[in-house]
Amino acid sequence: MKKLLFSTCIALLCFACSEDSVSYLEGISGKSGSITRFAIYQDYMYLLNLNEVQTYDIKQKEHPVLVHQMPTDYGLETITVYDGTVFLGSTTSLYILDISNPAAPVIQSQSDRISDIGFSGCDPVAVKGNYAYSTIKVIENACGTISAASALVVYDIHDKSAPVVVGTYALNIPNGLGYKDNYLFVCDEGSDELLVYDITDPTHVVLTAYAVSITDPYDLIVDGQKMIVSSKTDFQIFDISDITQIKRLGQISK
């Protein structure tokens, strides 16, 4: 659904932005944000249920075939594929899946966030190099417990069989995230901002002064020098060629 919404945004924004923006938007229609429940790798699609990863053979795209079902603990939220590895965010864990046989993923590791950081919550995951970044959103009666605090959590994944938390940074109500070069963008609904972190040293993430005010930001797509941010009410496109001066290029209401 999120991928569909972003694709719709791209089509509509073509009528509202400059010619340069139009050509850019047409080129990223196949991308999705970090809050998504399916992903494609080679000839397979991975689809999340709340406690299961389903693998579909999509060689014949008109007739996908369910070829594998992998059970997990309850609470799967998001999926991303990075460098031939699947990363799952759930309400309690970061899962890392081995897809050396893409038709039959297996769990390579599963973190325990209660032990790692003391609380759980809903989360998407972004991966860059040997580090994974996850926003943990705690909402009463929905994700985690109200006594806990939402946060950005950084994992060292040099050893994918044993991810280690190397940093935890307080947030308000975080949602989707993504990165460009050594900068991590985080949608923080609670502060009505797109926050920008310097991740040059992943073990010492630094919040910059380059935040952008956006009401209720939800998810984002980074593509080269441009970025689309989805909020509860609109889609906004930004020029991020200069992180110190992020420029809003256009927007359209949902």
Residue 216 lies in a domain: yes
C-alpha–C-alpha distance, residues 18 and 227, integer Å:
15
**What would the two tokens of residue 98 be?**
């081995």
pLDDT value at residue 137: 79
pTM (predicted TM-score): 0.84
Task: Answer whether 157's CB lies under 8 Å from 127's CB.
Answer: yes
> What is the domain-level CATH number for residue 212?
2.40.10
Residue 204 lies in a domain: yes
Least confident of 79-93, 144-158, 180-194: 144-158
Secondary structure of 43-80 in HEC code, one letter for each residue: CEEEEEECCEEEEEECCCCCCCEEEEEEECCCCEEEEE
pLDDT digits (tens, 9 = 90+) for 163-215: 999 999 999 889 999 999 999 999 999 899 999 999 999 999 999 999 999 99
What total of structural domains would you count in the chain? 1
SS3 134: strand
Top-confidence residue, 149 or 179? 179
**Residue 83: which pLDDT band, with cuts at 50, 70 and 90?**
very high
Residue 88 lies in a domain: no
pLDDT value at residue 164: 93
Q: Is the pLDDT of residue 2 over 80?
A: no
Q: What is the DSSP string of 135-170?
A: EEB-BTTTBS-TTS--EEEEEE-SSTTS-EEEEEEE
Residue 253 lies in a domain: yes
pLDDT value at residue 122: 61
pLDDT digits (tens, 9 = 90+) for 7-48: 444 444 443 444 444 444 445 545 678 899 999 999 999 999
pLDDT value at residue 253: 84
* Domain of 210, in residue numbers: 173-254
pLDDT value at residue 11: 41
pLDDT digits (tens, 9 = 90+) for 87-124: 999 888 899 999 999 999 999 999 876 555 544 556 79
A 10 A CB-CB count for 162 gives 12
